[in-house]
Amino acid sequence: MHPQATSCDPLPLAAPGVKALKPYQPGKPEGELRRELGLNRIVKLASNENPLGPSPLALAAARDSLAESHRYPDGNGYALKQALARHHGVDTAMITLGNGSNDVLELIARAFLSPGLEAVYSAHAFAVYPLATQAIGATGRVAPALAVDSAMPHGHDLEAMGALVNERTRLVFVANPNNPTGTWVEAETLEAFLAALPDHVLAVVDEAYCDYVERPGFPDASRWLSRFSNLIVTRTFSKAYGLAGLRVGYSLSQPAVADLLNRVRQPFNVNIPALAAAEAALSDREYLARSRALNRTGMALLTEAFTGFGFRVLPSLGNFLCVDVGRPGRQLFDALLREGVIVRPVDNYGLENFLRISIGTEDENRALIEALRRVLAA
């Protein structure tokens, strides 16, 4: 006789913080849209990827490393850490490697949050901050964003964030530039905010998009690490360096902080091709310059087109634009899908009438503009 089947309901067994979570929703994959609608050409402008593809140096390094795929990766990431230490002028003991910067954000939450403690972040900030906070069972405190009519509409209001800090606060997350809005915080304002934080609060400055920034005087928070012992700066190779599919990120912090992060880090969280590609990409300055130039011209083209359509475009220093389309963004998102163009609705960020649109190649950008023209005419 076969034993009787069980009927376990896993929800009551889950950790309290996990029960209330909704999974992170990535941009719609090209293959999924192709299967659904049978379209031949897909233009994906939903996930803030580098449309140039990976650096040729990174691609060659990843290919060469595949011969070692039967081995475990270097769990310490020695070669990449050496390259990053030279790049930033820091000691290798200040570096923590992650499976993308999302992984590093999770490590930070695991190391410093627990039930009864709190993290502070802004409305419209990156979705991983509340996910990481709630999964641990800690409490997220959400500060209202700057007003629509401010110089930085929907951006971080650091004064409002500071007002939420109390004796239970352990982390404050500041994305600069922010995803999904593209907005940013100027150096003087950010520096004053960090200086005012109490010693029991760590500031996480998420600089995932900083390599695209060409604005004079924009703050590089990694240069403040010697001044602020409670500062953690996170970076990624997924954006300007074009390695989103390989998942490499890192944080910079004082060695005592990095030591705690490495205690909760899995030993082989970055694979062999990713380690090799990231090290090579860091040295490819010509590729980075081309990425910035493509982003600059593409952003100008799309900003002009969107303004001509009557849309309101938020200021952005990333490789994307957040656009108020004057109607529920998901309606326009669905209409563009039928045209073979994937963008990103951001109603889950509290921006119901907005779309986030990545900067693509010139051909992709013009395809989006033509698709929008057809959709709006209809």
Write out the residue limits of the CATH 3.90.1150.10 domain(s) in the chain.
12-53+286-377
d(CA 128, CA 373): 34
Q: Which two tokens stand for residue 186?
A: 């100027």
**What pLDDT is stored for residue 362 in this prediction?**
97
Residue 85 scores a pLDDT above 70: yes
pLDDT digits (tens, 9 = 90+) for 99-150: 999 999 999 999 999 999 999 999 999 999 999 999 999 999 999 999 999 9
Using the 8-state DSSP alphabet, how is residue 66 labeled?
Answer: G
d(CA 270, CA 65): 13
Q: Which of helix, strand or coil describes residue 373? A: helix
14: confidence class by pLDDT, cuts 50, 70, 90: low
Write out the residue limits of the CATH 3.40.640.10 domain(s) in the chain.
56-282
Does pTM top 0.85 for this prediction?
yes
Q: Which two tokens stand for residue 316?
A: 């952005």
Please report which helix (H) or strand (E) contains residue 242, including its range: none
Query: What are the residues whose beta carbons fall under 8 Å from the beta carbon of 256, sequence distance 6 or more?
Result: 229
In this structure, which topology does domain 56-282 adopt according to CATH? Aspartate Aminotransferase; domain 2 (3.40.640)
Phi, psi for residue 202 in degrees, rounded to 5: -100, 135
CATH architecture of 12-53+286-377: Alpha-Beta Complex (3.90)
Contact 81, 75 (CB under 8 A): no
DSSP string of 287-338, one letter each residue? HHHHHHHHHHHHHHHHHHHHHHTT-EE---SSSEEEEE-SS-HHHHHHHHHT
**What pLDDT is stored for residue 37 in this prediction?**
65
**What pLDDT is stored for residue 2 in this prediction?**
65
Please list the residues that pair with 196 across neighbouring strands. Answer: none
